Structure 1
């Protein structure tokens, strides 16, 4: 009986399923914060990429 309880407690301590979700949420929050902080730079970068793509396709 004592071994079974010990095994259950050890299994509970080693279980890390919820940890992945917390890490994923933190990464998403950080990415959103970075996009909000650098919104203008991100927009300029993406706009530049689309302009380059448009000029390259016009050259074809």
Structure 2
């Protein structure tokens, strides 16, 4: 049992993908905080369009 716990703690497989996901989420939050207020023109409108397309194309699992 102790060996299984030790292997689980030391296993780093998949950690990189999770870390990249966290970084991407944080970057998206920052972009929305900075540019998301003006959704009628400029970068805010572009980001709104992109995220609207993502929202409509991603289906929940």
Shorter-chain TM-score range: 0.3 to 0.5
Structure 2 length as normaliser, TM-score? 0.43
Pick the structure with more helix per residue: 1
Which structure is higher in RCO with an 8 Å CA cutoff and minimum separation 6? 2
